[in-house]
Amino acid sequence: MYNRHLKTFIQAADSGSFMKAAESLYVSATAVTKQINLLEEHLGLTLFKRSTQGLVLTDSGRLIYEETKKMIRHSDSVLKKARELENYKQTVIRIGVSLMNPAHILMGQWAKASAQYPNIRLEVVPFEDTVSGFSEVLDNLGKKVDLVPCPYQNDYWGDRYNSFHLMDLPACVSFPQTHPLAAKSILSIEDLHGESLVLKKNICNDQGDYLYDELVQKHPQIHLTTPDYYEFGTFNQIVSTNGFILSAECLSHVHPLLATVPVDWDYKVPYGLIYAKEPSKEVLQFIMALGQVL
């Protein structure tokens, strides 16, 4: 941002000789002498009194020296701020959402960290609640969508994404609001006897016990169905068959005809983010920011 010869001039004045200045700048003494001569010619001033004892600044050289040091400090400060602004440019993180993959829990977590990262802006990208729709999202992670907040599982979709665990949600059940059990604030497992329950096999507790195994072994009165994936049509079937489906609080508003009620058990639904196998540095920054407030 300033004449490069000025730094050579400052070094020569501080060193007291062209030879010592050359050593500090890792150039030849001839190069230093040439630069000073060009600077004096450009300014139309004599900056140094040269003698066998070394260099002494002239009166005009002293003025240029003092003002140049101020200018260089100011110029370096401006350049530093400009680089900080460049590095702090706004980043857009694209959040994939659907009716069955809502973002309200993620947004609640992000609200705790967003003030520290004003350069990050979130953009919502909707997608369809179908196997093909979700598969397309996975195929385009990092391209069309950066992250999807959802109750996730690591096996059904294969090794197609990374996951970041945000929290465990209590496993609830959803069923038609017209069912007599909808009046209860919490259910027991025995309440489900004689009912048909749709659930995924990956739901477990902190001890690593799987809900499916417990129900098969201890509660055969419950009729189980284990789909690999929930679609919105799955919830429609629950309405039409008057059945039950394992869900979580984040899915309580998926279907307006269903009630979502907790059960007196200690099983959890893992909830977090899925993202590309090779995420961008911006996505990693966003995930790290979330991790700081967990």
What is the chain's pLDDT, residue by residue, as a tens digit (294 residues)? 566 788 899 999 999 999 998 898 888 989 999 999 999 998 999 999 998 888 999 999 999 999 888 888 888 888 777 776 666 667 899 999 998 899 999 999 999 988 888 888 899 999 998 888 888 999 999 999 999 999 876 555 667 899 999 999 999 999 999 999 999 999 999 999 999 999 988 899 989 999 999 999 999 999 999 988 888 889 999 999 999 999 998 888 889 999 999 999 999 998 999 999 999 999 999 999 898 887
What radius of gyration, in Å, describes the C-alpha atoms of the chain?
Answer: 34
Residue in the block written with tokens 């961008």: 280
Q: For the domain bounded by 172-266, which CATH number is listed?
A: 3.40.190.10
Q: Does the model's pTM come out above 0.85?
A: no
Helices (H), 166-280: 211-218, 232-241
The span from the CA of 173 to the CA of 179, in Å, is 12
Tell me: domain 5-85, CATH 1.20.1440.230, correct?
no
**243: nearest Cα among 166, 173, 189:** 173
Hey, what CATH class is 91-167+271-291 in?
alpha beta
Terminal CA-CA length for the chain: 44
CB within 8 Å of 46: residues ≥ 6 apart = 40, 58, 60, 61
Same fold, 91-167+271-291 and 172-266: yes
* Structural domain boundaries in the chain: 5-85, 91-167+271-291, 172-266
**In angstroms, how far is CA 200 from the centroid of its own chain?**
28
